[in-house]
């Protein structure tokens, strides 16, 4: 019995505390309600001002980087190019760069022509981002000035292998996105063929094995990837005629599957899949000659998909088997890879070897800039097969809020929930008081 009385006493005390706390909360929240209308406006205004200040600071830093491109020190110029590339990967800055077209093209051309390896490599990495952000009016002149310098640097045997590899990758992306002259595209493809021809088999059909070839594997693979990417720009009939009349033919590409470098073997398998998919895309049935070639190719692909030689690194064996299993599945069952990649607020769907290779090349050359430029740059949207936004529509990236804006938005929503909850509390408190 005493326990029951004690329980009732505690319940009465708890009820009183609940009534008191709700009344007190209501009074406090009414004060918040009086201040929320003005504070919400000031928060939004401050968020807008902060975003504008951040943009202005970034533009000032970009102009300082452009001024630093004319520094006397080679290392200083290379550092300025790397910093400028990082800035271009973060924001779309066409409004700032459109007035600096001639200056930027001149700096990049000089760096690729006369700079040292570090400066040439930095200039090659900067070229595709700069071409996409420089504005539509001056992009043709920019490409016409930079493309020959990139090609010359890629073919320059006195440059380092890393610099030549970077030039090959950047040149392929630059031509894939912005080059419209078919003659220039074919010229670049011939230049690529002269580079990766160093991995061809010997005249007697034996494999070339040397330390130099292993070191140059990344360069030859980059040239082969660039060649395959540019092949997709040709009409299927033109691509088929090119593979039959000029090097490299399908048989030459198949010979590269025996190269001593893992990078070249992977690039050769991917190039074969891309070329076959592109050539047969406009045909109902496969040509007998091409079907015979594919039939002879299957044993080599099957062997590479099952390779377990212990003298190769474990990681290399796993990567080779995974890649060539997909390639073998394509040639045997006509099953192409399919991926869906999130780019900002949009989804890029890559169906087929050509789409997957294009996305891989763009992502490798642009990095984080792919997300910043995809909503605003028409050539990039076309390459990613994204739908064109309606006229006058804001870019898709504008829907994304900054961290400060999200924080202020969450605070405003929290205040609105608190006010709504306290109104209900006031009604309950008044009912209990009666």
- The 10s digit of each residue's pLDDT in 252-271 is 999 999 998 999 999 999 99
Q: How many CA atoms lie within 13 A of 128 on its CB side?
A: 28
In 134-258, beta strands by DSSP E:
none
- Element (H or E) spanning 114, and its range? helix 101-114
Does residue 188 have a pLDDT over 80?
yes
Whether the predicted pLDDT of 326 surpasses 80:
yes
pLDDT at 357 over 60: yes
Other Cβ atoms less than 10 A from the Cβ of 198: the count is: 15
Per-residue pLDDT band for 209 (boundaries 50, 70, 90) equals confident
The three state secondary structure string of 232-257 is: CCCCHHHHHHHHHHCCCCHHHHHHHH
Cβ contact 397:344 at 8 Å: yes
> Please, which residues have CB within 8 angstroms of residue 210's CB and are 6 or more apart in sequence?
260
User: Mean pLDDT over residues 233-248, rounded?
Assistant: 90
pLDDT tens digits, one per residue of 173-185: 999 999 989 999 9
Q: Which among 29, 312, 361, 17 is positioned nearest to 177, based on CA atoms?
A: 361
Measured at the CA of 330, the angle between CA 326 and CA 332, to 5 degrees, comes to 115
Q: What pLDDT was estimated at residue 395?
A: 52
Highest mean pLDDT among 49-58, 100-109, 130-139: 100-109
pLDDT at site 400: 52
Tokens coding 77: 């110029």
Mean of per-residue pLDDT scores for the chain: 82
pLDDT tens per residue across span 130-147: 999 987 788 889 999 999
């Amino acid at each position: 019995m005493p326990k029951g009385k004690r329980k009732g006493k505690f319940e009465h005390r708890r009820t009183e505390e609940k009534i008191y706390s709700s009344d007190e909360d209501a009074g406090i929240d009414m004060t918040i309600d009086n201040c929320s209308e003005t504070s919400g406006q000031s928060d939004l205004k401050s968020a807008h001002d902060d975003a504008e200040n951040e943009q202005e600071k970034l533009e000032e830093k970009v102009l300082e980087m452009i001024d630093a491109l004319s520094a006397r020190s080679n290392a200083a110029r290379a550092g300025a190019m790397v910093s400028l590339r990082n800035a271009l990967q973060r924001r779309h800055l066409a409004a700032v760069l459109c007035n600096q077209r001639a200056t930027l093209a001149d700096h990049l051309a000089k760096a690729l022509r006369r700079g040292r390896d570090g400066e040439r490599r930095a200039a090659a990495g900067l070229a595709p981002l700069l071409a996409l952000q420089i504005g539509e009016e001056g992009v043709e002149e920019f490409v016409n000035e930079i493309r020959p310098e990139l090609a010359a640097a890629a073919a320059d045997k006195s440059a380092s292998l890393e610099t030549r590899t970077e030039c090959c990758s950047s040149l392929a992306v630059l031509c894939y996105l912005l080059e419209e002259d078919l003659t220039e595209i074919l010229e670049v493809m011939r230049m690529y063929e002269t580079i990766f021809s160093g991995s061809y088999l010997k005249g007697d059909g034996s494999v070339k094995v040397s330390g130099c070839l292993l070191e140059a594997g990344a360069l030859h693979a980059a040239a082969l990837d660039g060649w395959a990417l540019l092949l997709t720009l040709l009409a299927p009939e033109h691509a088929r005629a090119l593979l039959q009349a000029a090097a490299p033919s399908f048989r030459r590409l198949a010979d590269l599957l025996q190269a001593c470098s893992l990078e070249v073997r992977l690039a050769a398998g991917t190039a074969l899949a891309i070329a076959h998919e592109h050539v047969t895309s406009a045909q109902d049935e496969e040509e007998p000659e091409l079907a015979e070639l594919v039939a002879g190719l299957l044993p080599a692909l099957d062997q590479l998909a099952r390779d377990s030689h212990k003298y190769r690194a474990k990681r290399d064996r796993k990567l080779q088997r995974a890649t060539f299993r997909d390639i073998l599945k394509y040639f045997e069952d006509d099953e192409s890879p399919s991926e869906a990649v999130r780019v900002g607020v949009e989804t890029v769907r890559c169906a087929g070897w050509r789409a997957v290779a294009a996305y891989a090349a763009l992502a490798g050359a642009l990095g984080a800039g792919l997300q910043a430029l995809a909503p605003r740059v028409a050539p990039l949207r076309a390459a990613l097969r994204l739908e064109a936004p309606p006229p006058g529509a804001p870019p898709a990236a504008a829907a994304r809020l900054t961290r400060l804006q999200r924080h202020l938005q969450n605070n405003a929503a929290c205040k609105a929930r608190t006010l709504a909850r306290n109104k209900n509390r006031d009604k309950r408190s008044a009912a209990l008081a009666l």
